[in-house]
Amino acid sequence: MEETTSTSAAGNGIVVVGASMGGMRAAEAARKAGYQGPITVIGDEPHMPYNRPPLSKEALAGRPDPAALIFRVPRAAQDVNWRLGTTVTAADLTARTVTLDTGEVLPWEGLVVATGLRPRRLPLPGPAAGRYVIRTLADAQELHEQLEPGRRLVVIGAGFIGCELAATARKLGVSVDVVAPEPVPMQRPLGDLLGQALQQRHEAAGVRFHLGVLPVAFGGSAEDPDAVGSVSLSDGTVLPADLVVEAVGCATNVEWLEGNGLDLSDGVRCDNHLRVEGRPEVVACGDVAKFPNLLFDDIPRRVEHWTMVTDTAKRAGSTLGRHLAGNGEAEDVFAPVPSFWSDQYDIRIQSFGAVGLGTEDIRVLEGSPDTDVVVGYHRDGELVGVVMVGFGGKHAQYRTLISTVGQGAVPVRPTAPEPV
């Protein structure tokens, strides 16, 4: 897609730092909220905003064409000035400026923080060549070229990204070992019940798990000592490897905001309107925003779900646009329903709500973990999250149920749910 540009000056307008879907949706929402001044979106990648969830699945397998992942710029954001391949290195919230990697200083009257996450890397000894992460389109394209039948892949990390990578690689005929310190895969987001059930499905497809252990070093290959040839584990196991993917979580991109007196310990702290620590001229959205979702409680949390990027971007952009246009603030409470999905082999996993708040009380609502199942996650006896494996026809029913959290939501099934 060609870059959409504007002849308007960037100064004294809105500057959006982060040219992801969140940045684009925030710009669109600011326009719809009545803001008519210039908007500049700055991003360090050379691409226009694109769809990230397929990167560890379809894109890694070589489909669809990368161009198909690029989002169409919405009508309300057609006059936005896009500055791609550019990094913001610092911000001064008092002076209302951002500094670019070129040394240029841009003034603004409104700022959107949409810088998202970056993959963590393991500080382990050994060669660096042959080690990959998945976060960008370039990452997926580079790794795709290496996933040839018969090659040996070690995935470090058994969360959703690690398990999606493992499933994609196995379907391509790649030998896969997964290493993680947890006792079951996907334990943190799903708990033991579903983690164990999904592990069995991966093992049936040929994935080998090494759980409760850590990687301690990378060894060089016989052909090239500067490229990975093995992974040594804390229990003494040495796994042969032609390539390694580090899927060990992400860090928030907030360093450019340092020096402004903000709490950056885990993202950017916001209020329910997505204002950064109460500043009406600065908002945040997406994976980097730490805010209270009043559907559950008033505790600020980051939520790394794809749908929340859009939800928070719309709220943040509207908040900022209304403020700068003099239209006041929204009176409604921001209480979105978090949701995500994961495709692994022919399995569609869908979730609604705050599953992480209910992992101490997990109950089967429908079906069986061995086949299709709906699992409920409860906090103080109240249903706060649902994960579905299969049962796709009921996703709207369960999403609606979760939206009633705080209103006495009860499981759909009339009989008592089975405790786990």
Rounded Cα gap, residues 190 and 387, in angstroms: 8
Q: Reading across the β-sheet that carries 175-180, which strands appear in turn?
A: 131-132, 243-246, 152-156, 175-180, 208-211
On whether residue 32 sits in a domain, the answer given is yes
Residue 61 belongs to domain spanning: 13-118+251-325
Residue 319 placed within a domain? yes
Q: What are residue 41's DSSP bridge partners?
A: 16, 82
Structure tokens given for 65 = 């064409």
* pLDDT in 10s for each residue of the chain, 420 residues: 334 333 333 456 999 999 999 999 999 999 999 999 999 999 999 988 888 776 767 777 776 677 778 888 888 888 999 999 999 999 999 999 999 999 999 999 999 999 999 999 999 999 999 999 998 888 888 998 999 999 999 999 999 999 999 999 999 999 999 999 999 999 988 999 999 999 999 999 999 999 999 999 999 999 999 999 999 999 999 999 999 999 999 999 999 999 999 999 999 999 999 999 989 999 999 999 999 999 999 999 999 988 899 999 999 999 999 999 999 888 889 999 999 888 898 888 999 999 999 999 999 999 999 889 999 999 999 999 999 998 888 889 999 999 887 554 444 332 333 443
Read off the pTM.
Answer: 0.90
20 and 139 housed in the same domain: no
Integer Cα distance of 76 and 54 in angstroms? 26
Report the distance separating Cα 96 and Cα 240, nearest Å. 52
Question: Rounded distance, CA 12 to CA 105, Å?
Answer: 12
| Count of domains for the chain | 3
Q: Give the number of other CB atoms < 10 A from CB of residue 191.
A: 22
Residue 105 and residue 141 in one domain: no
DSSP code at position 286: G
Number of CB atoms found within 10 A of residue 112's CB: 31
- 243/259 same-domain check: no
Q: Which of 194, 160, 170 is nearest to 342 (CA)?
A: 160
Domain endpoint, select from 192, 227, 248:
248
Give yes or no: residues 196 and 266 share one domain. no
Residue pair 46/142 in contact by the 8 Å Cβ criterion: no
Does the residue 404 lie in any domain?
yes
Q: DSSP letter string over 325-364? A: HT-----S------EEEEEETTEEEEEEE-GGGGTTSEEE
Same domain, 98 and 80: yes
Identify whether residues 156 and 55 lie together within a single domain: no
Phi and psi at 136, nearest 5°, equal: -120, 170
**Domain identity same for 261 and 114:** yes
User: What CATH number did the domain enclosing 370 receive?
Assistant: 3.30.390.30
3-state secondary structure of 393: helix
Residue 337 lies in a domain: no
Say whether both 182 and 238 belong to one domain: yes
Whether residue 339 is contained in a domain is answered as no
Q: What is the CA radius of gyration of the chain?
A: 22
What is the bridge-based pairing of β-strands 228-233 and 215-220?
antiparallel
Residues 104 and 134 in one domain: no
CATH of residue 209: 3.50.50.60
Domain membership of residue 330 (yes or no) is no
Residue 1 is assigned to a structural domain of this protein: no
Same domain, 103 and 20: yes
Q: Please report where in the chains the tokens 């709490």 appear, as a residue.
A: 263
Copy the structure tokens of residue 69.
Answer: 């992942």
**Assigned domain for 2 exists:** no
Residues 125 and 79 in one domain: no
Same domain assignment for residues 196 and 306: no
Which amino acid is residue 8, in one-letter code? S
Q: What is the pLDDT of residue 63?
A: 64
